[in-house]
Structures are given as C-alpha cells and as structure tokens.
Structure 1
Amino acid sequence: MRDDTQTATTHPTAGPSRRGVVTGGALAAAGLLALGTPAAAALAPTAPAPPAGPAPAPAGAAARRSLAQFTAVAASEADAVAVPAGFRADVLAPWGGPVHTTGPDWRADASATAADQASQVGSHHHGVQFLPLDDGPEGEPRGLLVISHESTDPALLGGDARKAMAAQGLTVLEMREVKGVWEVVDSAYNRRITADSPVRFSGPVPAPGPAAGRARGVLAPSGQGLTPWGTCLVAEENADAVFGTDDPEWRRGETHVRYGLSADGHGHPWHRADERFDLASAKASPEQFGWIVELDPRDPSAPPVKRTALGRFAHGGATVTEAAGRLVVYSTDAEDGEYLYKYVSAGDWRELRAKGRSPLDHGTLYVARFGADGGGDWLPLSHGHGPLTRDKGWRDQADVLLRTRLAADALGATPLARPERVAVNPRDGRAYLALANSPGGPTCTGGKEPTATEGVCRTTDPYGRIIRWREHPAGRRTRQPAFHWEEFLAADDPDRPVDGVFAAPKGLWFSADGTLWISTGVSGRDLGGPAPLHRAAGNNALLAADPTTGEVRRFLTAPRGAEVTGVTTTPDARTLFVNIQHPGERTTRWGTPDANTPHKVSNWPDHHRSGRPRSATVAVRREEGRGEGA
C-alpha cells in the first residue's frame, strides 16, 4: 500500500536556545544508513577496562543515498502516514495478517478466535529488527523481520483474555524485496511467540514461581537490541498490567507495590482466564516477567531465553554496544520516577562465548546516580555491596535481581522523568536517553525534596526532553565521576523551528551515519491539545536530529491515535522500517472506539467502511527516479 506524501517548507535556522542547546544549522548527513555496532566508552568503576572508540560503520554504508535534502513534513492530524516528497511508505505485517499462507486470514469484524490470533501477526507493534539472509535464487534481498507486540486494546481486539494473550509477544517473518517492494514470504522461519509459548531462564535467577519447570510467555515486549552474534534482545515492559485478583482477602506486599501489581489488573483481567495471573493463587508467577529476553530468529526451534543477570523491572529497551571487547547493554525502567541501568559482561564477549558461557549471564548490572554538577556514577547492583547484604534483608544475588527496583532504591539511584529508550552514537560513543515526560510530584523525586538534578527529573515536565552523557576512560577513575551528562534537546524549547516541534520523545535510534531518529509517543489524552505544544505537534511523529547542531526535522507523521515506536534499516540503507503502534485508540480529541464504531478514531491502514485500525510496520524508501540529488 502506498501513502500520499506531504511536504513542508523548512523554516530559517535558529541560534542557540536559552538552555544552551543549538537548534540551528543544516541537518548534516541525515541518512538511511546501515546498522553498525556502536562502541561505548568506559566501563563502570568496579569493572575497569580501557575505553573503546566508536565502531566503524559497515563498509560502503556511508556512501549510500542520504536523507540530507528531505523536506520536512508538516505536523498533521490526518488519519494517514505522511513521508516527504520523493519517498514512499508501504504497509507490511499488519495486525491479524497470517504468519503462514495456510493460516487464518484477517477478519475485519474481529471474529478471529484466540487460536486464530496465535497464528496471525500480533497487535501493538513496538520494537523491530531486520536480520539479513542470503539473497534469494533470483538475487532478491531477503531478511527476517522481528516485531514486538506490546499490548492489546480490548475495544478493537474483540474476544476474551485468551485472545489478548495470543496477540502479545513476538512475530518473526521472512521478507523479500522484489522490484523495490518488500513482501512477506511463507517460510520455515515464520513464527509467533505468545503469552503461552515455552521459555527458558538463564543466569543467576532460576525460573521463579510455582511453575518454574513449565515457564511460559513473553509479555509486553517493547524495545529491541541486536547482539554481536546475531540474536535479538527483547525488553519486557508493562507485564504488571495483566495481573489481578477477585479475592477480597488478598493484600499487597512491599514488592507488589513497588512493581505496580494490584487487584484490578489495570483493566486487563487475565486472572479470570489463567491462574498464572491471579495474584491470590498459589500458581501466580509475576516474577517470571519483566526481564530481557534473548531470541534467535534464525533458529525456529529455539525457545526465548530470559537473561536474568540484566535485572527485573519494566524494561523500556535493550541497547547493545561494546567497550574494550566487553558487552554493554543499556536499559531503562520505563515508568515515571524510575532509573537508568547498564549491564557489563564479566570479560571479552568473544572469549566468554568461546568457553561456552553467555556474556549475558556473566556480568554486573549497574544503576545510574546523576550528580547536580553534571557528573554521574554507576552503582553496582551486587550482593554484598553497600546496603545489599544479608543483614539488610538481601539473601543473595538472585534476590537482588528479582527485586531490582528495591535494590536500586537502597543504593540511592536517581529517579528520572519517565526514562524510555537509550541510543549510542556510532560516531563518538556518546549515549542518549529519552525522558518522555512527567506530571511531577513525589513520583519523579522519589518522595524526596527536588534537587539540582532537576535537569533529569523535573518536578513538572509535561513535554519531555533528551539528555546525553559521555563515559570516562576507566584508567581515570580515582575521584572522577564515571560519566558526565548534559541536556541535548528539550521539547518545550521556544527557539525550535516549527519543522522540529515535538513532544513526548520515547524512541531513540541512531543510523550508522550518526543521525538520531526520535519517535514520539504523546498519549491519547494529550494528542491534538489542549496544551499549545501538543496542539502544534499534531499526531505522533518520527524526527531526524543532528547531534552536532541540534537541528530537528520531522520525517514521518503517524495516523490518529498511533505512536511511532520501533525503527531500523536494511544493511544497504535503502529501506527504513518504522512501526506504527495502536492507531485508533481512545483519544480526547477524537473520542473512544467501541464494538459498534471501532474506526471512530482511525481506520488506518485499510480504510474499509466496516473495518478497524491495525498496528503495522511501514517500509519507507525513496521512490525510483525521485530525490536522486540528495
């Protein structure tokens, strides 16, 4: 499917803003470039190792066509995907499409059963990765698309909790490019992973809960990362939403409260369909969710593996990089007032794998503490360190990782204003963090008085911002902080030209040329206003930012009610895959869909009179013969 394009005139560039963030200058070398493995700088103080410089982009990638000359699209409230003139956006893998040609087709009336849904593409597309395969017999480029399905909308999904369980999880699809158009191929690689799929636990925490030997399910997966050995790391985020109970005698404990578990299940009563999700049941197993999950898309027989050394919390993503041969994984706890984390492997990841040991099982997890002077430190979440001792109630390392949030509290980590995705610049190794927004109050400040670190956690921050930091070389430890941070962009910067207006930055991703792609996720409550910035930003969008100048330009706008989530590209840099999540969900601006009017807010992408909106991936590329001068 091809969408109409929009264009917008580029406004004059601006000088430095009042926050010292430069927003002017040309957007240099913004491009659809190849995925490289960026390198981080130094490791944490307790795991010293020499820093590594940024890894080079794959050979030839920088010579690919650039987006530098694209004309920014205008802010939009249209029920469509808009991209710049000279580009096209083709819809791929929409919710409900069959995973195999023999599987059940999409039913626009939502009459598909839970069994049907388990063989169809899931809903609420979030993280995405593209893994290349050898070219096909006709020389067509091929690859595997791995899509995370974070949640469901009962009003649009139809059916019961079992169908919702089948709609979450992961989809793996083989893709083929034919004459410039990507299409799904019926393949042995194609599969669905749902809330009922077998999983395996690895690392310091054995499979927890009463069903330890029969662990099942990947829940609420959001952002993804790619390991150097070609597997995907998938972040389980808001798994607490599907737990609940009808037992009036059940009471919340400290860990329940800290992990957001409550009797009402946040409106998703899965506990009535499966005892695993009934908090009052002896079979309840909330500890089996909230992990980083490793998936090998090239091995359809391999179950997902929950890597427990990376901690249990509402992971917003899993950004993989390297430092002096060690594997580094950045992640966030993606709720207001939560923390930034970093995992570092115990040694060179190649050496560990050569010995048959996973670099994701042997290493140290750290949590960040930001200083008021722009410095910061990584605090090790290690049993026996500081307050994490037996006499303080911490049994062992497994206990620390099962209760990561409470352990980070005990260490004095810095609460953040809804930390979401991390991205590492492949050019200079600096890391960037999206702080989506915060209503303010004690959630953001951890119940303490506001401090000079308000740049990372403001008492009120309705629109969000992006910060960045540079790790210091390990050899310079002594009394120096482990990293220095600064604000990069603030959504409410009054000096930003209209072409770059945005709110609620959530997704961050770097292309190999060093362009920072920003995905926004303004909630349905705020889309279209009434706040002036929300009104000016329009629908959620994908923007390209220059890390050197701070210039931001809008590249893509989403349909009504949708967020823009995962972003990745093909190795030849000619196609950008972008996930469009939950078009048509409830909004203040356009109303609430129901069984009789499922398309009240959006009817994208099919626009059938009797249809309903569907999350999907779009493949964006230049149209042949257009934009060649860029």
Structure 2
Amino acid sequence: MTQQLPGTTDPVLAAGDEPQSNASGNAYFGDILETRLSRRSLLRGSLAAAVAGAMATSLPFGGAFAGQGGRGPSLGFAAIPTSSADSVVVPEGYRVQAMIPWGTSLAEGTPDFAPDNGADDQAQQVGSHHDGMHFFPLDGRSDEGLLVLNHEYIEPRFMHAAAAGLALDSGGFPQLADGSRDADQVRRELHAHGVSIVHLRRDDDGRWHLIKDAHNRRVTGLTPMRLAGPVAGSEHVITRYSPDGRTTRGTLNNCANGVTPWGTYMASEENWAGYFANRAETIDRRQARYGITRRDTSRYQWHKAAGGADEFLRFDATPRGGSAAEDYRNEPHTFGYMVEIDPFDAEAAPIKRTHLGRFAHEGVVFAPAVEGEPVVCYSGDDARFEYIYKFVSARPYRAATADGSLLDEGTLYAAKFHADGSGEWLALAPGENGLTPENGFADLADILVNARSAADTAGATKMDRPEWGAVDPASGQVYFTLTNNTRREPGQEGAANPRANNTFGHIIRWREAGGQDATRFQWDIFLLAGDRDSGRDANGAPLDDDAILASPDGLWMDAERRLWIQTDISESVMNDGIYEVFGNNQMLVANPESGELKRFLTGPIGQEITGVTMTPDRRTLFVNVQHPGATTEASAFAAGDYASHWPDGGDAIPRSATLAISREDGGIVGA
C-alpha cells in the first residue's frame, strides 16, 4: 500500500478566505459612516450608542409603509436561546428533519457514503459542504420538486479512509511519500465540489424523501461548461483545453446562489483563487488582485496529483509553453463568475455569465422582473475591503422569451457610498470612470476579467466582506450582509462600515432613486450585529438575549417579507472569548418594518448555518448545515475524537446535511 502522509496547505489557503489584496486608496465604508454619525448623532459615549442614535433618527425607510395599515410580517414563534449542543434546535411547535447528507446516493445501484468510496461513487452522490440552494417545484406543486444546492468546499480528512489516524486539521489532506496526491482522492474531491440537483417528495407523514430517478444529477469541478458574454473568446481565457476561449471545466467554491426570473439556477464561484499555484516570476493583476501569489502550493495540491493528468495540471497556472494555448496560465481567469444551470435540462451545459463580473461572488440576487424593463441583479465580493456590484441588462425583460442571454449585454456597476446617506452606482464600462486604454483597460472583456481593479479605478467604496443580498418585493429595498472585517484598523471606519476591528458585522439596506436600474440610491444601517452591549436593531435599540448575533452571512426574504438571517462565526473562534455568548451558529428572523428580531434556529457544533429556501406553500423551510465538526483539532482527529457526530450521532463522521423544517400544525413557517 502506498504510504500516506499528512499534508496541510498554507494557513491562508486552508482557511478558504482570500488574503487581503485591495491596495487602492478608495474610501472605506467605515470612514464614511463615522463621518455621517458625527454629523447626525448628538449622543456621547460608545460607537454603538452613536450608531444607535443615527439609526433611530435617520433611517430613510421608517415611513415607507405609513398608511398601509400594517407593521410588516408577524414573527409568531417563541424565540429560542443560544446553544452549544451538538444538535439542531427549533422553536416549540416545530419539527425538523435532517436529510440528504453529503454522500447520499442519487442513483440506483450506487453506494451511499463511506470513507472508502472512490471518485466514481462521489460523482453519483450528494456533494459536500452544502450552501446556497433553491426549491424548484414540479408542476407547481409544494410537495414535490427539485432541490438544487451548492457545495462550497470540502474537508479532505473526513473524505478518505487513508486519512484515519493522521493528525490533520480542517484543511489537511493525505499525501503520498513524495509529496504528490493520490489521483483518485483528488478526483473524488473535485466531484464533491459543485452543485447537486435532487428530486424530493413529501409524503403524507410530512417527511421528505429522495426519489432516485433521472431528475437527479451532479455538476462538479470536472463538468464541461460554456463561457458566455464579453469575456468568452477573448485572449484572457484561451487555454490548452479551450484554444478558442469558449469552454472550461468545472465550478468551484460555490457559496450563495441566485434564481433568475426565467427559472434557472445561478451558482456562485467565491474563494476560488486558493485552488491555483503559479511559480511565474511576475503575477499580473488578473491573478494578483485576486490573491494568487507566486507559490508552488495550493489549497488542496490538486496540481500535484500522481500521474499528471491534464484535469489536475490545469490548477498550476505557471506558463510552460510558447503561448496560452499550450498551458494553463489563463485557467484562473475562467473562474470567479456566476454559473447558470437549468435544473430541468440535463443536456444543457452550465454557462458562466461573464458580464456579471469576475470576483469572489458570494451570490446574486435579482430584483423582481418587470415586463418591458431591464433585468437588475446585485452581487457582493466576499473579501475584506471589496465591493458591492449591480448589473443592469441592455435589453428589456419579456417573460415569453427571457433567457440567460439577457445577462450577456448590459452594464456592470460598483457601489459608492457617501456620508450623507446617498450613494451612486459607478459604471464599469469602456471610457467611463477612468476605464480607458491609457489607464490600463483595453476593452470591456479586460474590465470584466479585472472587475476588482476596475472598481478600484472607478472609486467604489471598500466594504467589510459583502455577503448575501435580498430584495424586498414590496418596497424594492435591497439588504446586504457585511459579515465582519477584523483587519479594519482605527481611523479606517466610515459611514457604511462603522467599526474598526469589525468582529461582529452588520447589515445595510438601500433604496434606488427611481427604478431598480437607477444610478443613485439612499442607504443606511439596518442592523448592527453584536452582543447586548454592542448590537443594535433597526430602531437603534440594544439587542436582547433573543436577538444577539455575530457574523451575519446568509440572507433571504420570503414571500411574506420575513428577513431570514444566518450566521457564520468562524470555527477558529466559535464559542470562545468574545464569541462565547453567541454559542453555535444560528438563524434569526427580522421584520423589515418594525425591526423586531428573533432567533429561530441553532445548529450543532462546529458548523455554519447557510442556504435557505421554501416550498411555494411556505409550509416547509429548507436550511443547510455546513461543516459540522470543523472545530475538531488535528490531534483529536488522529484519535478519532470528533467534535461533532451530527447528523447520524454515535461515533459517526460528521457530514453536512439539509434540514426540512415545518410546523406541527401544518401552518406557514415563521408566521
């Protein structure tokens, strides 16, 4: 048997988050908010008090629904306390079912999860690290449909029988004696990434069941895909695999998602840069601005898979041949997009829509489509000091003919926030906002491949890790989570990012000045996350024990306008120090009008709560639990002492899984 040795990537790569790479002199959102607060608030004392005063007196949305006879959606459940237990807790009167954990077989005759599964097995199984998702009903039904879900990344130590007994942390992996990787292990890891399309049916007993039929399929890190939009066919994406620059293989690090007005699924490509090595003497901005530095290592060392197959070598972006068509120097430029998938058409290749920009896409959220008006969507770049973007289509939406080509023509914008509560969208288009050949932007493809650099030049506002977004269908207000930024130093605060060493994060919202395609908006803070001392709700009131939270991440608004907020406290600090009071990661619900906030769910040990969707009748809520047991230390892993055994219990390997939550009386969830 080939000797297996422990391997661990660089700590930055292992954590998954991109290293800070924005060296521009653009304004910080925190500086802007501090200026705004100093102008508007008469309170003295802590920053939290100042923010509370400004929020209570200056939110531009407080009277948005005046005279409509309501105070927003009801939150008709009893809030639950924080928890550090290895279980899922929901309010009294609710029930929860854990289902389709990583490794669940999707086809008859294929095995379910086991540590000795091979790559071919994983290609027919639900992927790992469940994240953003959406329920697509079959024939309009609420009891049957396709659940489409992302798989953000993996923990190789839990995947391979060869890892048993090795001292591996959450980013560690087995490697061969010569430093290479076993090829079947690498291929299994690639198949564990991507997207799962899962056919589910609710039976009369109220439980959901997987139906093994042709609806089920996987999109993985090896699936052939098309490139569309201005970048397709350009010099930036020519590779040995695709000399014409129009195809690529696979999607990776799929975090949040989106759903198009024409009923297709959008999977994001978030922290993809760490998957690539590059030993070139000089790394140009197309990679350096995304965190790729000169290195021979990568997050999982896929480029060092034994045998040197082309599907693995592409993760080494070092120039080797005489031109880009002879190597994979451009392979990183084929990642960082939103990927459109038709859940009902297995023959349709996934398409990377390049006009939505290339960056660490957390997801995309569409404004309600209006017949005859442009399609509008928003996306956050989930990295420290990065930007919020908006896309407006060039062609109008026509329900009868709409398809993904609407996303291939239009204008990409980056947001600039001002201290007086106003904001503007800066066009990232040739000849606008300094984006000229003289300033290093040759054409539209060049701008989109270098979206971060373009936003730098245009003067967009640096944010505290923009995460998920939500659009209120009644008011058009847009909400975005800013999960945290512990690298924002004193003096770097601003109006929209108010705290130095922003450990707890916050949520902003804005309203466009006109239609959703407007180029100006008004903004303010909706929620300042934190404990009882530092957290503030939409009215500026301190958060009570039923509402304290840290690191807001997942965000979604249901059909009755409840705002569901999910948290992602890093496993490195969870239940420790200033984070101890919050317990395990959780999900809360907010009333967007009154600001009322209640905790609805807490998850098991070491996980992130992420991904949320409902059936059309709003009687089943689906939520994902990602990476339970990630807090298992390397020495404990070697001893088989896992921090969590959820969902199977006993001494089982912890696995990501989906929750189906319903009321015992059959009513609407959250009401």
Amino acid at match of 2:238: G
How big is the shift at 1:626? 9.0
The answer to whether the aligner puts 1:347 opposite 2:373 as a matched pair is no
Name the counterpart of 1:605. Answer: 647
CA distance in 2, matches of 1:371, 1:392: 25
Name the counterpart of 1:473. Answer: 514
Q: Deviations over 1:442-500 (max 9, x none)?
A: 7xx9xxx636x3432643211101111111116998xxx70111111111235211010
Report 1:185-584 matches (<5 A).
185-206=211-232, 208-210=237-239, 211-212=241-242, 214-245=247-278, 247=279, 250-262=281-293, 263=295, 265=297, 267-273=299-305, 274-281=312-319, 282-284=327-329, 285-322=331-368, 324=370, 325-350=373-398, 354=401, 358-441=405-488, 450=492, 453-456=494-497, 458-473=499-514, 482-492=520-530, 493-494=534-535, 495-531=542-578, 534-584=579-629
Amino acid at match of 1:307: R
How big is the shift at 1:279? 2.1
User: Which one of 92, 95, 104 corresponds to residue 97 of structure 1?
Assistant: 104
The secondary structure found in structure 1 opposite 2:116 is coil
The 3 A distance-change label for structure 1 pair 355 and 515 is closer
Q: Deviations over 1:107-129 (max 9, x none)?
A: 1xx11112211111100101110
User: Which one of 84, 87, 97 corresponds to residue 94 of structure 2?
Assistant: 87
The 3 A distance-change label for structure 1 pair 556 and 471 is same
The secondary structure found in structure 1 opposite 2:107 is coil
Amino acid at match of 1:615: S
Amino acid at match of 1:279: A
Amino acid at match of 2:452: R
Amino acid at match of 2:289: R
Unaligned runs of 5+ in 1: 1-15, 25-40, 42-52, 55-61
Query: Contact (CA 8 Å) 1:598, 1:613: kept in 2 or not?
Result: no
How big is the shift at 1:598? 5.1
- TM score, norm. by length of structure 2: 0.78
The 3 A distance-change label for structure 1 pair 309 and 146 is same
Name the counterpart of 1:7. Answer: none
Amino acid at match of 1:387: G
How big is the shift at 1:329? 1.1
Name the counterpart of 1:44. Answer: none
How big is the shift at 1:327? 1.0
User: Which one of 122, 137, 150 corresponds to residue 127 of structure 2?
Assistant: 122
Amino acid at match of 1:118: A
Amino acid at match of 2:318: A
The 3 A distance-change label for structure 1 pair 117 and 371 is same
Query: Contact (CA 8 Å) 2:368, 2:473: kept in 1 or not?
Result: no
Q: Deviations over 1:502-545 (max 9, x none)?
A: 000011100111111000000011110211xx111100001001
Name the counterpart of 2:14. Answer: none
The 3 A distance-change label for structure 1 pair 463 and 475 is closer
The answer to whether the aligner puts 1:73 opposite 2:80 as a matched pair is yes
Query: Contact (CA 8 Å) 1:106, 1:112: kept in 2 or not?
Result: yes
Which range is displaced more, 202-211 or 68-77? Answer: 202-211
How big is the shift at 1:220? 0.8
Query: Contact (CA 8 Å) 2:55, 2:525: kept in 1 or not?
Result: no
Query: Contact (CA 8 Å) 1:90, 1:618: kept in 2 or not?
Result: yes
Provide the aligned C-alpha RMSD in A. Answer: 2.9
Identity among equivalent positions (%) equals: 40
CA distance in 2, matches of 1:176, 1:529: 40
Query: Contact (CA 8 Å) 1:81, 1:557: kept in 2 or not?
Result: yes
CA distance in 2, matches of 1:99, 1:628: 28
How big is the shift at 1:283? 2.1
The 3 A distance-change label for structure 1 pair 145 and 23 is farther
CA distance in 1, matches of 2:660, 2:55: 29
Query: Contact (CA 8 Å) 1:155, 1:593: kept in 2 or not?
Result: no
The secondary structure found in structure 1 opposite 2:407 is coil
The 3 A distance-change label for structure 1 pair 250 and 606 is farther
Aligned pair count? Answer: 555
The 3 A distance-change label for structure 1 pair 436 and 21 is farther
How big is the shift at 1:92? 1.7
CA distance in 1, matches of 2:55, 2:546: 11
